[in-house]
Chains A and B, each alone.
Chain A
């Protein structure tokens, strides 16, 4: 690995991380605040023997990704909130057919076309899904460009391992900002012949399979309810395992904390500064930063110092979508409050700190 950091814009670093992680197929359609991802891919991917396609729409892009993934390709797609909404039907199909995909959502304010400033109101969309049927998609929410790069780099393999879409959710601020970043080395890219062996379910074509005559079928249609139920039960055994293995989070200053923030992405960074402001005023505040949004890190909440903590504050760029998961994780052990802005507005750290003080004051 090179030891020299480079200064990169988030969106460009995301694209580079996917290439270094082995993604060689990209399908997308431009949308702010992530348009630098397809722009970078269109320029850089062909240099690595990859293929960039600007689809006619996000519907086209997700279905191209479905086909390419079913054929054994290492596929990366990206979009922003309303574009991800258009891809939901495809996400359901990919989950059912167990087709791997690395997907990135650089989210903005909604609902509807909404605006182009940072938002986190896609929490329900990405953790619950907008497609039909019983399915789950692991979602990771980085709070820095470096963390996004590391997650995307790993994400190509996670998608293949779990044979499922893997989503990385960054808000527009992380996409648009620049930070020094250490880029990982390029992963070796398997040949079509190697892919036929490694991905022994993929429709790679006879020629690459060295004489293997067994039919390979990738599908999401199962007309017999018994067969469909059996298939869904199988998927959920996989998801149960993912819930054990993919939980990721960080905690800071929970011991002795009076109040604990729960926040992901950009909002976690704002809360970290709010904790510093509160500390200067003699109020100890801690932070739980979910990195995996599904599976939600319920066990992180067991680390709360229940002897000292009086309240938990879910800090979000939405009307409190994550708050539901925070309440489930706490299961009534502590009251949960909301600190939020929405629609593309981002709170300052003094605003978040003031909200915490008001909550603590109200509990006296």
Chain B
């Protein structure tokens, strides 16, 4: 592994920033270099949200990216914007529940995830982002599954600790 450049994008409330933060946090716990850069501005309220994550074995020269090894898109506008920015051979994870088209490119590894169906089976649509994150981590190996679980222990502390089993279940695709 050398460097993974990643986009996470969707609409406000879909948990795309948390996905990016968990990957960054896990990379740090694994002793890697990592940066997390959220988009910020008036467009975030009720509109689109996205973040950029870079994980590397060496110091991250630039947190701003223009092409990605992995793009994770949760809605159609994000797919339209970020699909062209995936490197040839890179990954595109997309939320097929609400994105009503297939990817245009055939030189990338596209992974369709039915988040609505998967999270409905878990009885909680708030864990859709964790279902997606599990697909990304298990599908790419950008960080280790066990490290993400360690991050869960830190992110879901106190009263939220009760949510850990559900999030692990969502993450593992069970």
Contact = CB atoms under 8 A, between A and B. Distances in A.
B41 A117 contact: yes
Interface in A1-30: 5, 7
A348 B52 CA distance: 14
Chain A interface residue bracket vs B: 20 to 34
B37 A176 contact: yes
A5 B64 CA distance: 22
A177 B65 CA distance: 13
A180 interface: yes
Contacts of A348: 64, 66
B64 A346 contact: yes
B36 A276 contact: no
Given A7-B21, A7-B24, A177 B61 contact: no
Interface in A56-74: none
Contact of B35 (A32, A116, A177, A273): A177
A258 B21 CA distance: 39
Given A5-B28, A180-B34, 17 more contacts: A7-B28, A7-B34, A32-B40, A116-B40, A116-B42, A117-B41, A172-B40, A178-B36, A178-B37, A179-B34, A180-B28, A266-B63, A269-B61, A269-B63, A276-B61, A349-B66, A350-B66
Interface string A346-364: 1011100000000000000
**Main SS of chain B's interface residues?**
mixed
A173 B41 CA distance: 12
A272 interface: yes
B68 to A, nearest CB: 13
Contacts of A270: 62, 64
B173 interface: no
Nearest to B25: A7
Contacts of A343: none
A116 B38 CA distance: 14
A177 B62 contact: no
A318 B173 CA distance: 48
A348 B62 CA distance: 9
Interface string B26-68: 0010000111111011100000000000000000111110100
16 contacts: A7-B21, A7-B24, A7-B36, A32-B40, A116-B41, A172-B40, A173-B63, A173-B64, A176-B37, A177-B35, A177-B37, A177-B38, A273-B61, A346-B64, A348-B64, A348-B66
Contacts of A117: 41
Contacts of B37: 173, 176-178
B36 A179 contact: yes
Contacts of B25: 7
Interface residues of B, number: 19
A117 B41 CA distance: 8
Given A5-B28, A7-B28, A349 B38 contact: no
Interface string B1-41: 00000000000000000000100110010000111111011
What 4 pairs between A and B have smallest CB-CB spacing?
Answer: A178-B36, A272-B61, A348-B66, A180-B28
Interface in A303-349: 346, 348-349
Interface in A158-180: 172-173, 176-180
A346 B41 CA distance: 15
Interface of A: 5, 7, 32-33, 116-117, 172-173, 176-180, 266, 269-270, 272-273, 276, 346, 348-350
A5 B27 CA distance: 12
Contacts of B21: 7, 178
Interface in B122-147: none
A206 to B, nearest CB: 48
A273 B64 CA distance: 10
With most chain B CB atoms within 10 A of its CB, the pick from A5, A177, A349 is A177
B33 to A, nearest CB: 8
A236 B66 CA distance: 46
Nearest to B52: A177
Contacts of A33: 40
Contacts of B24: 7, 178
B119 to A, nearest CB: 26
A79 to B, nearest CB: 17
A200 B48 CA distance: 55
A116 B42 CA distance: 9
A76 B35 CA distance: 27
A178 B21 CA distance: 8
A349 B41 CA distance: 23
